[in-house]
Structure 1
Amino acid sequence: MSLNRKKTLRQVTMTRVTHVNDPEGELVELDSKNSYSKKAVPPIKVNRKIIKSYNYNYFPIILNKDGSPWREGVLYIISKANSDFNYKISTYHSIMSDLTHFKNYIDDNNIDMFSFPKMKLLRPTYRYRNYLLLLVQNDELSSHTAKRRVSSMIKFYRYLTEENHFKPSYPLWNESDLYIKAHDSKGSVFHLKKISTDLKIKNIPNDDPFSNEIIDEGRLRPLPKQEQLALIDTINNTGNTEMLLIHLIALLTGARIQTVLTLRKSHFSKSIDINDSSFTLATGHGTNIDTKKDKNLILIFPKLLYNKIRIYILSERYLNRVNKIKNDVFNDYLFLSNRGAPYYISKESLKSSNTQSNERTMHNGEAVRQFISKRVIPTMKVKLSNDRYIFRFHDLRATFGMNLSESQMRLVEEGKLSLHKAREYVKARMGHATTEMTDRYLNYRSNFDTLIAHQENYEDYINTLLGHVNQECL
Structure 2
Amino acid sequence: MRELRRKILLPAFRLSELTTDDDPLALTQVIKQGTGYPATTYHYRFVGGDGTGREFCYNLFPVVLDKHAAPWPFGTLYILAQLEAQTTPVMTTCQSKADDLGAYKEWLDTHDDPDDVMCQFPQMKLRRVTYRYRGHLQRQVQAGEVAPGTAKRRMGTVVAFYRWLIARNYLQPDNPPWEEKLYQITFRTLEGRSLSKRVVSTDISIRAPKSEDPFSGTIRDGGQLRPLTNKEQGWVLEATQAKGNTECYLLQLFMLATGARIQSAGTLRLRHFTQTNPRYAKALAGDGEVFKLKAGPGTGIDTKNDKSGVLQVPRSIYELLHTYGLSDRAKVRRSRFVAKHGEHPDPYLFFTQQGNPYFAAKADVQRFNPNFDRRHEKNGQPVRQFLKEHVIPDVRKKYDSSFKYRIHDLRASFGMNMTELLMGLVQKRKITLHQARMTVKDLLWHESLTTTDLYLNYRSHLNMIYEAVNGYGEQLQKWVAQASVSREVSDE
Q: What TM-score comes out, normalization by structure 1 length?
A: 0.87
Instruction: State the shift of 1:18 in Å.
Output: 6.8
- What are the equivalent positions in structure 2 for 1:307-456 lying under 5 Å apart? 307-325=319-337, 326-328=340-342, 330=344, 332-383=347-398, 385-387=400-402, 389-456=403-470
SS of residue paired to 1:360: coil
Query: Which of 94, 97, 101 is 1:95 aligned to?
Result: 97
Q: Partner residue of 2:174?
A: 169
Gaps of 5+ in 2: 32-38, 282-287
Task: Give the stretch that moved more between structures: 461-470 or 397-406.
Answer: 461-470
Task: State how far apart, in whole Å, the 2-side matches of 1:173 and 1:64 are.
Answer: 25
- Are the counterparts in 1 of residues 18 and 43 from structure 2 also a CA contact under 8 Å? no
Instruction: State the shift of 1:442 in Å.
Output: 1.7
Distance 1:390 1:355, change over 3 A: farther
SS of residue paired to 1:192: strand
- What are the equivalent positions in structure 2 for 1:95-174 lying under 5 Å apart? 95-108=97-110, 112-137=117-142, 141-174=146-179
- Does residue 199 (structure 1) correspond to residue 194 (structure 2)? The answer is no
Q: Deviations over 1:61-116 (max 9, x none)?
A: 12223232111111001111111123122222222223233333333566533333
Distance 1:451 1:240, change over 3 A: same
Letter in 2 for 1:289: I
Instruction: State the shift of 1:390 in Å.
Output: 4.0
Q: Partner residue of 1:62?
A: 64
Number of residue-to-residue matches in the alignment: 467
- What are the equivalent positions in structure 2 for 1:274-289 lying under 5 Å apart? 277-289=289-301
Task: Give the stretch that moved more between structures: 458-467 or 278-287.
Answer: 458-467
Gaps of 5+ in 1: none
- Are the counterparts in 2 of residues 16 and 42 from structure 1 also a CA contact under 8 Å? no
Instruction: State the shift of 1:19 in Å.
Output: 7.8
Q: Deviations over 1:133-182 (max 9, x none)?
A: 34444555443333222222211121122112223333322211111112
Superposition CA RMSD, Å: 3.2
Task: State how far apart, in whole Å, the 2-side matches of 1:148 and 1:373 are.
Answer: 28
Letter in 1 for 2:360: I
- Are the counterparts in 2 of residues 4 and 101 from structure 1 also a CA contact under 8 Å? no
Q: Deviations over 1:39-70 (max 9, x none)?
A: 5451897xx5x4x4422122111222323211
Q: Partner residue of 1:10?
A: 11
Query: Which of 204, 209, 215 is 1:210 aligned to?
Result: 215
Task: State how far apart, in whole Å, the 1-side matches of 2:157 and 2:41 are.
Answer: 43
Q: Partner residue of 2:83?
A: 81
Task: State how far apart, in whole Å, the 2-side matches of 1:272 and 1:134 are.
Answer: 60
SS of residue paired to 1:9: strand
Letter in 2 for 1:368: V
Task: State how far apart, in whole Å, the 2-side matches of 1:97 and 1:66 are.
Answer: 16
Structure with the greater alpha carbon radius of gyration: 2
Distance 1:284 1:30, change over 3 A: same
Instruction: State the shift of 1:127 in Å.
Output: 3.6
Identity %: 35
Q: Partner residue of 1:292?
A: 304
- Are the counterparts in 2 of residues 327 and 354 from structure 1 also a CA contact under 8 Å? no
Letter in 2 for 1:42: G
Distance 1:131 1:337, change over 3 A: farther
Distance 1:312 1:267, change over 3 A: same
Distance 1:149 1:372, change over 3 A: farther
Distance 1:63 1:444, change over 3 A: same
Task: State how far apart, in whole Å, the 2-side matches of 1:107 and 1:379 are.
Answer: 46
- Are the counterparts in 2 of residues 322 and 340 from structure 1 also a CA contact under 8 Å? yes
Task: Give the stretch that moved more between structures: 404-413 or 273-282.
Answer: 273-282
Letter in 2 for 1:333: Y
- What are the equivalent positions in structure 2 for 1:213-292 lying under 5 Å apart? 213-270=218-275, 272=278, 277-292=289-304
